[in-house]
A = this chain, B = another copy of it.
């Protein structure tokens, strides 16, 4: 029984096979089905693409996905060990996870960071509790640290766009009115490393990603013939083959929203416009994206934008993933 909590749960060869399978599914080939199989999707946070693509994907494979939104028609869940549960949470994951595991064949869990203490959040306690207690494979549908399903779709999109080790992908921080999660940049960085690609993380110094995660990705990149580099130079966006924009919060001011906001406001200029795309780059973003804040209309409305293709690939890669985890064929 294998789970998919981060892309390194699979070898580079396995990821490659998954992306190949996804491409075949996209072309309409059949790679088997998941008849009578069910997935429970547990959302602690909102979703559009993830929920729809998993539900449609399961249906197309003759299975069924149950959509469970914590706090909407369902009470809150406790994850801490040993708590006296006299507060808001009516149930512990130690019960909820194994019960769901008796009903369904696989669980998907989306649980963002609490946003107070990075040392606590980086342990992904909710996701880990589901993985530990459910007794079935668990798919990370975005946690505090990782969004591996997004990374899989992104990897497939890079392949479709012809990105090779000779090209440069710039993953750039962008301004946004809120401090957003870091799961996507962490996962994009790791996936590029596993694929042996050349990735530049461009961000103001205050928005540097977690040191340990950068180091891990860096090692993996080297091992696979890729490059991972960081810069605080907004100008580095120019000349890239791929400009992958994403906003995220500052670890330096983690859990201190006023301070975080003050830092952020210094970088309102980090918005992707036609100017940055001038060298023929393709634009990527995991969506949802705020137009004319993170990126200008002129980019999203141009042929340079690959965001819809990227989102579509969520469907195909997740179908391949489900077939691998439940069917074993891939």
Please list the residues of chain A having a beta carbon within 8 angstroms of any beta carbon in chain B.
Answer: 36, 38, 40, 43, 46-49, 51-53, 55-56, 59-60, 64, 66-69, 72-75, 78, 81-86, 90-92, 94-96, 98-100, 102-104, 177, 287-293, 297, 300-301, 307-308, 311-312, 315
Determine how close the nearest CB of chain B comes to the CB of A321; give it in whole angstroms: 16
A99 pairs with B312, CB closer than 8 A:
yes
Give every chain B residue within 8 A of A53 (Cβ-Cβ): 103
Please, how many angstroms separate the alpha-carbon atoms of A49 and B300 in the complex? 37
Beyond A38-B56, A56-B64, whether A287 also contacts B95 by CB under 8 A is yes
The residue of chain B having its C-beta at the shortest distance from the C-beta of A40 within the complex is B52
Partner of A52, one of B66, B287, B293: B66
A308 pairs with B69, CB closer than 8 A:
no
Partner of A300, one of B48, B67, B95, B311: B95
B289 pairs with A95, CB closer than 8 A:
yes
Please, how many angstroms separate the alpha-carbon atoms of A69 and B104 in the complex? 22
Please, how many angstroms separate the alpha-carbon atoms of A311 and B103 in the complex? 9
Partner of A297, one of B82, B90, B98, B312: B82
Give every chain B residue within 8 A of A315 (Cβ-Cβ): 102-103
Please, how many angstroms separate the alpha-carbon atoms of A69 and B51 in the complex? 12
Determine how close the nearest CB of chain B comes to the CB of A327; give it in whole angstroms: 18
Interface of A is mostly: mixed
Give every chain B residue within 8 A of A300 (Cβ-Cβ): 94-95
Beyond A99-B49, A308-B102, whether A293 also contacts B90 by CB under 8 A is no
Partner of A46, one of B38, B73, B86: B73
Give every chain B residue within 8 A of A288 (Cβ-Cβ): 75, 90-91, 95-96
A312 pairs with B102, CB closer than 8 A:
yes
Per CB-CB distance, the 4 closest pairs between chain A and chain B, nearest first, are A91-B288, A102-B312, A85-B290, A99-B311
The residue of chain B having its C-beta at the shortest distance from the C-beta of A315 within the complex is B103
B75 pairs with A46, CB closer than 8 A:
yes
Determine how close the nearest CB of chain B comes to the CB of A241; give it in whole angstroms: 22
Give every chain B residue within 8 A of A92 (Cβ-Cβ): 289, 291
Please, how many angstroms separate the alpha-carbon atoms of A81 and B312 in the complex? 23
Please, how many angstroms separate the alpha-carbon atoms of A85 and B295 in the complex? 10
Determine how close the nearest CB of chain B comes to the CB of A273; give it in whole angstroms: 13
Beyond A49-B99, A95-B288, A99-B49, whether A104 also contacts B56 by CB under 8 A is yes
Partner of A293, one of B66, B84, B290, B312: B84
Enumerate 19 A-B pairs (CB-CB under 8 Å) in ascending A order: A43-B73, A46-B75, A48-B100, A49-B99, A52-B100, A53-B103, A55-B66, A69-B72, A72-B72, A75-B288, A83-B291, A83-B292, A84-B292, A85-B291, A91-B289, A95-B308, A96-B288, A99-B308, A102-B315
Please, how many angstroms separate the alpha-carbon atoms of A20 and B99 in the complex? 22
Determine how close the nearest CB of chain B comes to the CB of A296; give it in whole angstroms: 10
Partner of A47, one of B51, B74, B103, B289: B74
Please, how many angstroms separate the alpha-carbon atoms of A75 and B47 in the complex? 8
A60 pairs with B36, CB closer than 8 A:
yes
The residue of chain B having its C-beta at the shortest distance from the C-beta of A60 within the complex is B36
